[in-house]
Every structure is written in structure tokens, then in C-alpha cells.
Structure 1
Amino acid sequence: MRYKAILSWTATILWMATIFLLSHQPANDSSKLSLDLLDFFMQSLSALAPQVEMHADALHTVVRKGAHFGAYFILGILMLNGLRQVGGRRVKSAVLALCFCFLYAVTDEIHQLFIPGRSGQFTDVLIDTAGAAAGIGIFLLVLYLFRKNVKQSKLS
């Protein structure tokens, strides 16, 4: 295996471990983390736009669900990159990456059933999978645009 593949898979596994560790937090710890992030966000937004009215409960939900989307957005990119580094074709690798991210999201929600105060939710699996799909889609779009640009510059 080449060093790029090893590096890609190491990053993927470390990110999966990060997701696991965050999911392993009891509900109180997880809620405190997201509330601290929300507090920072609300203070920053108040400083930048004091006229904007904010509702903490609604924003807390957005922060928590956004964290799911963002974590799996990154996982989708890392997974697709890892598969491509070991010779996977674009479409096949994208489908495999998405399937793997979906399965990891399912196992993550099952894992949360055993954590105090946490619950597994199928809606979170859907949000996670949507995040992975968005990450994979953007990765493929950037790759396409990059290759198109390289081809055009070779023709010039």
C-alpha cells in the first residue's frame, strides 16, 4: 500500500474513532458540549448582529443535528478518498463510501442505546447519511472541476 493510502485510511479511522468517542459520552456531557458551542455561537452572533433575534432551544437542535451532518460530511470525504487511494473507480467508490457511512451511522445509533441518557434515532442515521452524501458529492464535484481545469490547461 502506498503512503497516500496509508495516510488516507489512518485519517478515516481516526475520524471514526472521534465519532465513536463523541457518541460514547453520556447525555449530560454531550449536551454540555453542544450547549457550550451554542453559547459561543450566540455570543459571536450577538456581537456581529445584535439586531438578530435568537431562540436557544431551536438553535440547540440545529447545533446538535448540524454536528451529525458535519461529522458524516467529513467521514464521507475521508472514506471516498481512502477508497480511491486503493484504486477504486469513481462511481463504485462513491456508492461503497456512502453505504459504509450509512452502516457506520446505524452502528453508531445502536451504540448510543447503551450509553446513559442517550438514545438511538433513525432520523440521526438519515441526517448522518445525508451529510456523507453531501461530502461525497462535493468531493466528486471538486475532483471533476479540477480534472476539467487540468485538461483545459494542457490543451492551451
Structure 2
Amino acid sequence: MMQNIKNYILVLAYMLVIFYLSSIPLNFPEMINTIDPTKFSFHVAEYSVLGFLLFNATRNILFSVSISSIYGLGDEVHQYFVPFRSFSIFDLIADVIGSCLGVVFFLISRDLISKKLII
């Protein structure tokens, strides 16, 4: 029970980190509403971690991907109000992809760890 609470606290802490980072105005406004592979990769990585942590806490694939993706949507709406930031559908797509990948990474790593322990 205590471990499960720690997992949820870790999820909430990571969500706060995402919120904080997305609250920082960009110093390069030319990046607003562009499709940049680096920015896309960052969003995928960022939400992969969130999907991974959520699945670790809930063990529910649909719930983990849904909450992580909805949080990504909320984050994009939030960025609309931050100077030199904007709502980007491409970032939201990257967030959803990352959310799914995070769950997949968890399942793969769990299987690899369990197979290693059996051998």
C-alpha cells in the first residue's frame, strides 16, 4: 500500500515538473507553431516518462494513456497563455505517442526483468 502511494506521489511530482517547464516563456519565438524534430522528440520523451510512471502506479493501460494524454492536452492549453508559447497540435500528437510508448516501455522492461530473474 505504501509503495502504491509513493508511485502516485512520483506521478504528481513529475506532472508538476512538466507544468513548471511549460510555464517558462521561450526565448526563441520563431519556434512557435513549427514542426521541429528536436521539440517533437522532447515531447515524446517527456510523456513517455509520464506514461511509464502512470502505468507503474495504476497497472491500467487505457487509464494511463488517457490521463497522460489528457494532461498533455491541458498542458498545451496552458501554454496558449504563456508568453512566446502556443497550443500546438503537433506537440499534442507527440504527447500521445509518448504516453503510449511509456506504457510499452514499462511492459517490455517488466518482461525482460522477469525473464532475467527466471534464468
Structures share a fold, TM > 0.5? yes
Task: State the Cα deviation string for residues 33-80 of structure 1 (Å, max 9, x = none).
Answer: xxxxxxxxxxxxxxxxxxxxxxxxxxxx33222211111010000000
Match runs of 1:124-143 below 5 Å:
124-143=91-110
Match of 2:65 in 1: 98
* Aligned residue pair count: 113
% identical aligned pairs:
29
Which TM-score applies when normalising by structure 1?
A: 0.66
Unpaired segments ≥5 residues, structure 1: 32-60, 85-92
Q: Do 2:44 and 2:95's aligned partners in 1 also have CA atoms closer than 8 Å?
A: yes
Shift of 1:117: 1.3
CA distance in 1, matches of 2:38, 2:2: 36
CA distance in 2, matches of 1:137, 1:24: 29
Shift of 1:146: 3.2
Match runs of 1:41-120 below 5 Å:
61-84=36-59, 93-120=60-87
Which TM-score applies when normalising by structure 2?
A: 0.85
Structure with higher RCO (Cα < 8 A, 6+ apart): 2
**Which amino acid in 2 is paired with 1:97?**
S
Shift of 1:27: 2.0
Match of 1:43 in 2: none
CA distance in 2, matches of 1:95, 1:145: 22
Secondary structure, counterpart of 1:119 in structure 2: coil
CA distance in 2, matches of 1:95, 1:148: 25
Shift of 1:98: 0.4
**Which amino acid in 2 is paired with 1:23?**
S
RMSD: 1.7
Shift of 1:20: 0.3
Secondary structure, counterpart of 1:71 in structure 2: helix
Unpaired segments ≥5 residues, structure 2: 29-35
Quick check: which has more Rg, 1 or 2? 1
